[in-house]
Amino acid sequence: MRQILAVAAGLAVLAASACSAPAPPRSAAASATPAGPAALPAPTGDHPVGTTALYLKDTSRPDPWNLDADARELKVTLWYPTEQHDGQRAPYMTPKESELLLKGTGIASAPYDTLRKTRTNAIKDAEPAGEKRPLVVLSPGFTKPMSTLTSLAEDLASRGYVVAGIDHPYESYATTFPGGRVAECLACDSNSDPGFGAGLVQGRAADVSFVLDRLPAKWPIDRSRIAMVGQSIGGSSAIATMLEDPRVRAGIDMDGTAYARIPKSGLSRPVMFLGSAQHVSGGPFPTWDRDWKLLTGWKRWIVLSGAEHQSFTDTPLLSDALGIKPTAGVLSAARAAELTRTYVAAFLDQHLKAKRQAILDQPSPRYPEATFCPD
């Protein structure tokens, strides 16, 4: 879980017509000379994007990781459509966040402040457009700050969604609060404990419900149209949240092992599994096989050939700046971002905007990497 920015070993490419277990991984990529600062790809929607941060405190429960805190503090980053075209671009992360992230993942091939220089597309504190929009909650993987899903968040906002990305403090290498106070990863010392994953997703579900309770009324959100998307344990948390909070109408698990147990009565709201070869039907992570049978509503299970665990995040887009060579046989950064954006947006458009998406019904020649499982 902790190697969140290291380029992992390449997974064997799945044939587009098959959904079978992957071959053993190849060796990891070597480091190269770092390139210049990274720039996130431009959003593909029609709207300029604004962003701002909220800081919320849940006094009804103690923090599960910091025993000295009698309340759970959360940082929520909002991305949203705006009519403002010009302004200061939001920072990707602070120098301290970049330092702690690179130190935590053992990346020494670039200066520790490298990720601070990453160029984003959203305008800091821009005024939101007035029309009410569907809401998408984003949850990152374990040890990962919310910023590592920025490319997806910006794209969804440009397509007309309000996106609420939740930093779960003490579960990532760095979460910065007002005044510069930084919450480091206390949970990192517990991730091998029995029941760790199940407890973590339960806590994240509580985080999400609290955020939905507390999002300011001034925000132009259609609270009858809410979905959740997460990567890795954030994806597992999307399912856990749906089981606890009926306000979340639909959910996507991007390459996350499922920890929350769906009851025998099933889960009838729309769910999509979007994953790498490790999550094929019959593969080494059988929780999707288990849960697939318990999904009683609309459902899809899509595997992207050539994807690896971090392909659904900004990680590949940052590799050049960090001096990390691509792994042979793995999706390029640009293609991984395009596929992730395309399939996530299609799911949300169909289930929050009632716009049917043909690419969710069958394989598309435009996206031959996408295999529908089980076969």
Q: What CATH number does the domain containing 77 carry?
A: 3.40.50.1820
Residue type, 312: F
- Burial class, 182, CB count within 10 angstroms (exposed 0-12 / middle 13-18 / buried 19+): middle
Q: Is residue 63 part of a domain?
A: yes
Query: Do residues 137 and 228 lie in contact, with contact meaning Cβ atoms separated by under 8 Å?
Result: yes
| Structure tokens belonging to residue 91 | 């920072």
Phi, psi for residue 355 in degrees, rounded to 5: -115, 105
Q: Is residue 19 part of a domain?
A: no
Q: Which domain holds residue 312?
A: 49-373
Q: Is residue 364 part of a domain?
A: yes
Task: Tell whether pTM > 0.85.
Answer: yes
Q: Is residue 158 part of a domain?
A: yes
Q: Is residue 295 part of a domain?
A: yes
Count of the separate structural domains present in the chain? 1
Cα gap 57→73, rounded to integer Å: 4
In tens digits, the chain (375 residues) has pLDDT values of 433 333 333 323 332 334 654 443 333 344 567 778 899 999 999 999 999 999 999 999 999 999 999 999 999 999 999 999 999 999 999 999 999 999 999 988 899 999 999 999 999 999 999 899 999 999 999 999 999 999 999 999 999 999 999 999 999 999 999 999 999 999 998 877 888 999 999 999 999 999 999 999 889 999 999 999 999 999 999 999 999 999 999 999 999 999 999 999 999 999 999 999 888 877 777 899 999 999 999 999 999 999 999 999 999 999 999 998 888 889 999 999 999 999 999 999 999 999 999 999 999 999 999 999 986
Q: Is residue 26 part of a domain?
A: no
Query: Do residues 115 and 93 lie in contact, with contact meaning Cβ atoms separated by under 8 Å?
Result: yes
- Burial class, 1, CB count within 10 angstroms (exposed 0-12 / middle 13-18 / buried 19+): middle
Q: Is residue 21 part of a domain?
A: no
Query: Do residues 109 and 75 lie in contact, with contact meaning Cβ atoms separated by under 8 Å?
Result: no
Query: Do residues 196 and 183 lie in contact, with contact meaning Cβ atoms separated by under 8 Å?
Result: no
Q: Is residue 27 part of a domain?
A: no
